[in-house]
Structure 1
């Protein structure tokens, strides 16, 4: 043993161990890098599988969360009926009644839209439509050749412009070809969407039936496994989130419905075509801040130009301006009085981030999320301010 100790230099031995360890780490990292595409693919597939399973549960919970206040009111109304006063639980009956009301409402809306579109489509003369398309095509063709003649007279090389136009038309053709080839993927996505919607509805029914029990159960679980201070913080976070999201999303949905109904009614009185469709689009656009007016005026202009009814188009635009002014200054603030007012700059930033992350759904959820971040930030500032005041009081007492 002493023989090896005398002949092994401790310093060089440690260096050798470090070198060997480094070589092993480099070898393992290289092997990991070689297998990185396979690992990434496996992780991606597993994540996609988990998301596919969890998505209906999350969507179902969101639906139940939004419908729960309506369910409580229906349950309270049913409690007032004499035959139901003595029953211990009428939650199932209230859920069934709520489902019937929602289905009837959707059926009436869809029936009304189909009826209006069909009636106005029949009212349009097919020969006039074909003749109008030919006229527009001839006008575009004449405009193109007239432009080429003028460029030739001005000694401007029209061949390059013609080549650019041809390239543009070829790009449009390629886009349409790619669009047609993507219809298969669209069908698959539609099938997956229908399946997700079906299971989401099932989960939402279960959540509506068992919401109080779930709240009691998980409240008890958190109370047992979490320290009291952590439990208090989590309760505060949940209350803030509930206040902001419920106040904003429900208020936004009610406001969008009211604006859609008012716009459809007034536009029908004005006589603008597809009034109900435009009202529906404006109502849906109102779910996203600043999007309602954009959708509304764009729809009015498109329909007005397509039908050549410029007088109705101007009247509809002025009417929409008045409706948006009344809604923005009176109705909208009243409906969202339970939520948090945030600066327009924060709204725009939230919408940009939400659109990049979750598309349309991300834009809808982005604003209340930004409001919730603002609430938590202000709460932290108040806590820090309180600590500073307490510290100043202690320093003044000690001093």
Structure 2
């Protein structure tokens, strides 16, 4: 029974190893889309491949223990590569800089920690380390540092995803740009694997150390990695352009308000309030007359140019005076226009799909979601109700 479990574990690791390697090679070969984000995600997959390689090439690493220790510490690059990938995916102006080399600092620290009692000793002494793996302070320190570091990176990643959503709803009207669901799900999967890894660490280093339980949790973690890469492949096959980035210099209103509060800037005056109310009045006249919302890629900057206004003032008027995000504000006009077309006698021959493209939407799913949000029913139900 035990031998069959071990064999199954090794086979799954082999599948995970080569699937990660295959996807990483594919991403590096792509010449379209966000090539930097592709390469950074490939880097993450390669780090995972190297981290798993000791299970497949155990005999090789036993012959070269120094190389094995360098491999053991490679997991300290999982957090940085994942973090840099997310930034490259959500910010279309992201570039790698010299300062990003600082993300390798934990790896350097781990290697330095191992110099006195591992890299500087003979192979027999190194073997003693392997025989007493859980009792070696240096290895315990590296293990805990790895999980603390990865946990912090995951928190920062979730913070960036939250900020991305705010930037989109305040400045863009195309729902495809808002579609961060796949990336959020991806990070959720990594978080799940991280939590499973914490369970493995518990059974390895706590007073409840149990090798069988540790092996079982490791098996669950490897299976989770296999399911994750299968899910990634499924997403890539069905949606080649998974993500549309935004400019990282765009501020969300909460950040602007926080900066003004920190600088003790005076609150908005009565004169300025009247100015923004005038902008709102002008905007409400312009939207139904010129119908800029018919442009599926309308954003706050383009609309501001049409009105000959600073984009910051227009954004403040919509988000603060009207009390809607730009995304919802524009979609409300699209939905109202679609609702009129759905029940108009001369439009009865048009399908829902034709109408949604005419009013500025570029996907059926985003149209149905927005329509139900604004009118509490689907487009088909609305048309039947008013027929």
Specify the structure having the higher radius of gyration (Cα). 1
TM-score past 0.5 threshold: no
What is the TM-score when the length of structure 1 is the normalising length? 0.25
What is the TM-score when the length of structure 2 is the normalising length? 0.26
Q: Which structure shows the bigger proportion of residues in helix conformation? A: 1
